[in-house]
Chains A and B, each alone.
Chain A
Amino acid sequence: MNRDLIVNLVIFALLVAVALGAHVAGQGFTVTLATKAAILGLAGVGLNLALGYGGLVSFGHAAFFGIGGYVTGIFASHAANGDPILTLPFTLMGSNEMLGIWPMAMLAAALAALLIGALSLRTSGVYFIMVTLAFAQMIYYFAISWPRYGGEDGLSFYVRNSFPGLNTFDPIQYFAICAGLLALALLFTAVVTQSRFGLALQATRQNEQRSTAVGIRATPVRLTAFVLSAMITALAGALYADLNRFVSPSMFSWHMSGEIMVFVILGGVGRLCGPVAGAAVFILLEHLLGPVSDHWQALLGLMLLAIVLFAPGGLIGLTLKALRRTEHG
């Protein structure tokens, strides 16, 4: 087996082991933390597809995370009060079945990503970063001031949506759902990045001129990657909404976009399990530093800084380097 694969498996196994261990020890909240890591990791896996493999630095993925969350919240709240979501052009009723909600969440995000991507991909570099940010901000301000679904107060839906055969309110069973989807998304990413499409995408990132010369049209490839990436992040948003039984415009905020990006970079850009490792470490730090000091965010900032400056490949890059050194040394 190659070393990357081992590292990826170890990261995923660790996450599952923490959740199972905590479950056995009766630490319900630690299971919830592991669930949060799986969900935010999934959001990062989505961004990584665009950012890591396609070189598309999106500073607006909170838009898709929030759309996934809001679709879930809207379906669940309509299921509770029995009103249809839409009557025109067709009647759309609420639902509290996760299996029905997820495709809707991903579809909504795909449409948004198609529009945002088509416009943003006309630019590149810093402009792309800022344009994606601007689109997310636009949606954020809309969500705050649109009263229909609670505006800034957000939307509570009291009970988690249901999944056939499982009790979603039980922390470990909900973890199983999230970890299962995370595993699927990782598998999907692994397959896609090795496919012809994935190779084309990576070629456009490494050298646009050369990839054009061999007949790859960069924009459609990038747009496809951007949309797929948004769909995965939206799925994470849907799971996050169910984790909290609540959605709010803060899911759209630029802090959220920044955090998702931090997960990716912290773990290691373009590494399959990088975002998972990044999210897990971020949550661990947040949890450990919180009780140490009211000013824990400063400590967190210093640690992030140290990683960017001294470990440019992220945590996974650092680990691989250390492994290589022990082998040779």
Chain B
Amino acid sequence: MQMRLKTLLLSAAAALSLAAAPAIADGVKVGLITTLSGGGAGIGADVRDGFMLALKNAGDAGKQVEVVLEDDQQKPDVAVQIADKMIQSDNVDVLTGIIWSNLAMAVVPAATGQGKFYLSSNAAPSALAGSGCNPLYFSVSYQNDNLHEAAGAYASEKGVKKMFIMAPNYPAGQDSLAGFKRFYTGEVVAEVYTQVGQTDFAAEIAQIRASGAEEVFFFQPGGMGIAFLKQYAESGVDIPLIGPGFSLSEDILPAVGDAAIGIKNTSHWSTDLDNPANKAFVEGFRADFGRFPSLYAAQAYDTANLLLSAMAKASPSDPEAFRAALAAAEFDSVRGKFGFGPNQHPIQDIYVLEVEKRDGELTNKIIGTAMTDRGDAYAEQCQM
């Protein structure tokens, strides 16, 4: 049955390619590796649903994409073994979907080393943006430091003189604080690293209270963020918080509750970003899945649309042409304007958002722009 379906798709594609002059990709096979079990499964569900929604919305073009979906269990060794399987047994052309930097560091070199394209729908560690960049690797999301840099820029512009900054003690956390400091011109009164997986923040909140800071920058993704925000709200400390969008994304807001309302955060996308592609996306997502999409879903949606736009021009079997078609980024991004820099990482605007309640549900609204046409700090080190 699957065989017959594929033949059908192939012949449909062939018919289309007769109609349109340039060579159209005759069905592309995508390996979608994401986290579908354990504590990170919520983000994985957003990635999967965002990607699939884009294919559904694309109609016939979307049907030319065959998706092989696998759960990485949030374990790097499992992820790289799945990637090997998808490349060696399933013969996929393109891989995508990894959420976590440590998994990306395992999978991306394995994929590009075996001549496959990798389109990152989320993680974009600095090692892959600078000297480790690769012609077959595109980040469709951001570079890991971007949202933190924007928070730094926003705090400077707002004239905050004293900041308390904190992040978990692992590479993404260290990059986060480095990114913040890159654009923050005031004084950092304290820089605190928490333990990965930490759930009680009483000691840090005491330090914040005693620090004399005017505002607090915190990067605490997932469950750590939920715990920190709840405890901060209870603590009686009223120093305002700023975070990157991950700490206040729609996948965790319902669990934080009203304590999150009014907190500022920085993101390259928001549910209320005013453009037709985004309206269609947010409405479609809410209609299909009954929740607000998070930035993870938005990035996966863009990744699928970027892929479709490249497929309309070239086939992955011609890597040079396909790469050029990807690099052109001619698709309707939910972020409005979107382009790639020389290291194939995005150049995009980053906004300041504020958590609000809309139609009884928590989400973010845009209140300003933190950075315009921001690329990243590592592009110069990239030689391709």
Contacts and interface: CB of A to CB of B under 8 A. Distances in A.
Contacts of B109: 156, 158, 245-246
Contacts of A167: none
Interface stretch (B147-155, B169-177, B199-207, B215-223): B169-177
Contacts of A154: 76, 102, 105-106
A156 B170 contact: no
Interface in A138-189: 141, 144-145, 147, 150-154, 156, 158-159, 171
A152 B196 contact: yes
Chain A interface, >50% SS class: helix
A294 B172 CA distance: 28
A144 B106 contact: no
Q: How large is the interface on B (under 10, 10 to 19, 20 to 34, 35 or more residues)?
A: 20 to 34
B8 interface: no
A294 B37 contact: yes
Contacts of B170: 144-145, 151-153
Interface of B: 36-37, 70-71, 75-77, 80-81, 84-85, 88-89, 101-102, 105-106, 109-110, 113, 125, 127, 169-172, 174, 193, 195-196
A246 B84 contact: no
Chain B interface, >50% SS class: helix
Given A152-B171, A156-B109, A248-B77, A294 B102 contact: no
A193 interface: no
Given A145-B169, A250-B75, A28 B89 contact: yes
Contacts of B196: 144-145, 152
Nearest to B90: A29
Given A153-B102, A154-B76, A248-B77, 13 more contacts: A32-B84, A151-B171, A152-B196, A153-B125, A153-B127, A154-B105, A171-B88, A244-B110, A245-B109, A245-B110, A245-B113, A248-B102, A297-B37
Interface residues of A, number: 32
A250 B70 CA distance: 19
A290 interface: yes
Contacts of B172: 152-153
Contacts of B75: 250
B77 A250 contact: yes
B278 to A, nearest CB: 29
B37 A295 contact: yes
